[in-house]
């Protein structure tokens, strides 16, 4: 009887510990979302001429510099050919740029901020995306990204990103 009680108590402790750890993660995510949203809202307040629009309730903002023409149909399997420059919103530090190279990506393989923002334009369009960390790399640093642009430790965890993206082609 006492052995069964000990086993039962052990499993209760394990289950309770898991719930607390999961709850702590949710609290940390919410706290980071508040920080990210403040960074973006402060940036927009300091730059009122940007005419940024929010994508639903995501916290991702976009500014259409050029709407483009043609199809507006995007799915997760849509392949896009783009040129882009990425900066840290907090410092303006460039961490990646395609320059004259135009890589292609399947939309489902890029960060969620891009999946939400690229469909705001059509072929030939140019969009600027302000992306909170939860729609980019979240709490996971990207140690190799940005080293060639002077970020010695790479892209930090919870980085709020600022991308200029030109959409050269769309293949469905």
pLDDT of residue 172: 87
Spatial distance between the Cα atoms of 5 and 172, rounded to a whole number of angstroms? 60
Spatial distance between the Cα atoms of 153 and 55, rounded to a whole number of angstroms? 31
* Length, in residues, of the chain: 172
Spatial distance between the Cα atoms of 85 and 43, rounded to a whole number of angstroms? 18
pLDDT, mean over the chain: 89
Residue 5 pLDDT > 80: no
pTM of the model: 0.84
Are 120 and 127 contacting, i.e. CB atoms less than 8 angstroms apart? yes
Locate the domains of the chain by residue range: 2-171
What CATH number belongs to 2-171?
3.10.50.40
């Amino acid at each position: 009887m006492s052995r069964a009680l000990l086993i039962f108590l052990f499993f209760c402790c394990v289950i309770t510990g898991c719930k607390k750890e999961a709850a702590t993660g949710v609290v940390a995510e919410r706290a980071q979302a508040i920080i990210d949203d403040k960074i973006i809202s402060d940036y927009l307040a300091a730059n009122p001429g940007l005419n940024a629009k929010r994508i639903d309730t995501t916290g991702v903002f976009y500014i259409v510099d050029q709407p483009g023409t043609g199809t507006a149909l995007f799915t997760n399997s849509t392949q896009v050919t783009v040129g882009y420059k990425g900066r840290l919103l907090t410092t303006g530090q460039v961490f990646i740029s395609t320059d004259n190279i135009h890589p292609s990506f399947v939309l489902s393989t890029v960060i969620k901020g891009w999946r939400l923002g690229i469909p705001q334009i059509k072929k030939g369009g140019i969009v600027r995306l302000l992306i909170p960390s939860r729609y980019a790399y979240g709490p996971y640093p990207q140690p190799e990204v940005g080293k060639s642009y002077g970020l010695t430790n790479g892209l930090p965890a919870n980085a709020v990103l600022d991308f200029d993206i030109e959409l050269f082609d769309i293949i469905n």
